[in-house]
Amino acid sequence: EEAADQDLSVTKLDLELAAARAYWSWVSAGQNRRVAQDLLDLAEQRDAQLRRRLQAGSIAKFDVTDNERILLERRAYLVSAERAFEKASFELSLFLRDEKGQPVVAGEERIPDRVSVEPVEELSVERAVEQVLICHPEVKQARALLEAAEVDQSLARNRVAPEIDALFEYSRDLGQLTGTDLDFTLPGNVFEAGVKLSMPLLFRSDRGRASAARAVVAENREKVRFLADQLRARTRDAASAVEAAQERAALTEDVVETAAELAEGERRRFEVGSSNLIFVNLREQQAALARVRYIEAVAVAEIERTRWETT
């Protein structure tokens, strides 16, 4: 029963981590869709500007055609981003429910406008390892199974061991003797004591059960030991992962700002004739890629933070 209770706790922790993965995958897909839409909006705005400049004779038809190619590529990118967002919404609905317990497919309006990394408290890895080895439900479950195996071992050992029963009886007959052959009573108080020794026959099945019980105990002891090693390594890995993920998110955030400034500057240069459409498209793609990487970095950081908290 104790092992079953701890198994339920393990399942709850696993569900919490799975829900965090589904949520941040949905947030990432939604933010990526916005990046694709922003890219398409820029190309559409530039298309109108280029057509006006073409009519004025300040540019060649080649630039308009090249921008049309960019428009088609970005529309295709938006379609892929929309499909990814729909898929993430369906997966999130397994964890997002209404009051009646029915799945809820979250729309784009529920995506946060801005994502950022929630800082974690200062990590004390060794202290966390000690707490995990004491109170983690997987450890408690393994120890409960070991205790149950030890009880089975004791039971199997008792079945092949001699049995000694101590007996003590007291009796007293009441009434009058009849003086006939029907009198089988004894006068007064009668005390009887004895010991009964039973020796079971050592069949192979009994010896086999005892041997199997010892093997199960040994197996469960090794499982407890190996699980402790696993949890120790898992906790240290979770601490390392959350620190690296948060550092990566901070670095990619700086890249987003720099790439956006470069893209805006390249567009201004193009408007005054100091650049061309190839460089503008390249800068915009770099800025979009920086945003996508930052969103992914934040999602990874939040998932790793949840993994650290549920370890």
pLDDT band (50, 70, 90) for residue 60: confident
Predicted confidence at residue 114, as pLDDT, reads: 84
pLDDT band (50, 70, 90) for residue 185: low
Per-residue pLDDT tens over the stretch 233-268 = 988 998 899 889 988 998 898 899 999 999 999 999
Six-digit token string for 158 = 């008792």
> Which residue in this structure is represented by tokens 């893209």?
263
Least confident of 51-65, 73-87, 194-208: 194-208
Helix or strand holding residue 11 (H, E): helix 2-56
- Show the beta-strand stretches assigned E in the chain: 163-172, 189-198
Closest residue by Cα to residue 211 from 266, 131, 157, 143: 157
Average pLDDT over residues 102-123: 84
Six-digit token string for 223 = 């499982």
Helix, strand, coil content of the chain in percent (nearest 5)? 75, 5, 20
Q: Return the biggest CA–CA distance within the chain.
A: 147
- CB-hemisphere CA count at 13 Å for 217? 17
Predicted confidence at residue 135, as pLDDT, reads: 85
- What pTM does this model have? 0.76
Predicted confidence at residue 82, as pLDDT, reads: 95
User: How is residue 120 annotated by DSSP?
Assistant: P
Closest residue by Cα to residue 92 from 156, 159, 29, 139: 29
Asked if 72 and 47 count as a contact pair (C-beta separation under 8 A), the reply is no
- CA 215 to CA 218: how far, in whole Å? 5
Average pLDDT over residues 184-188: 65
pLDDT greater than 90 at residue 212: no
pLDDT band (50, 70, 90) for residue 38: very high
Per-residue pLDDT tens over the stretch 137-178 = 888 888 899 888 888 888 887 777 777 889 898 887 776 766
pLDDT greater than 70 at residue 285: yes
- CA 82 to CA 84: how far, in whole Å? 5
pLDDT greater than 70 at residue 123: no
pLDDT band (50, 70, 90) for residue 299: very high
- CA 33 to CA 146: how far, in whole Å? 51
Helices 277-310 and 204-271: angle between axes, nearest 10 degrees? 150
Cβ neighbours around 282 below 10 Å, total: 13
Predicted confidence at residue 122, as pLDDT, reads: 67
Asked if 289 and 78 count as a contact pair (C-beta separation under 8 A), the reply is no
Predicted confidence at residue 209, as pLDDT, reads: 79
pLDDT band (50, 70, 90) for residue 116: confident
Residues in the chain, how many?
311
- CA 137 to CA 181: how far, in whole Å? 74
How wide is the angle at C-alpha 233 spanned by C-alphas 10 and 138, nearest 5°? Answer: 20
Higher pLDDT among residues 176 and 202, named by residue: 176
Alpha helices in 57-136 (DSSP H): 61-92, 125-135
Average pLDDT over residues 45-58: 85
pLDDT greater than 90 at residue 192: no
5 residue type, one letter: D
pLDDT greater than 80 at residue 119: no
pLDDT greater than 90 at residue 276: no
Average pLDDT over residues 78-96: 95
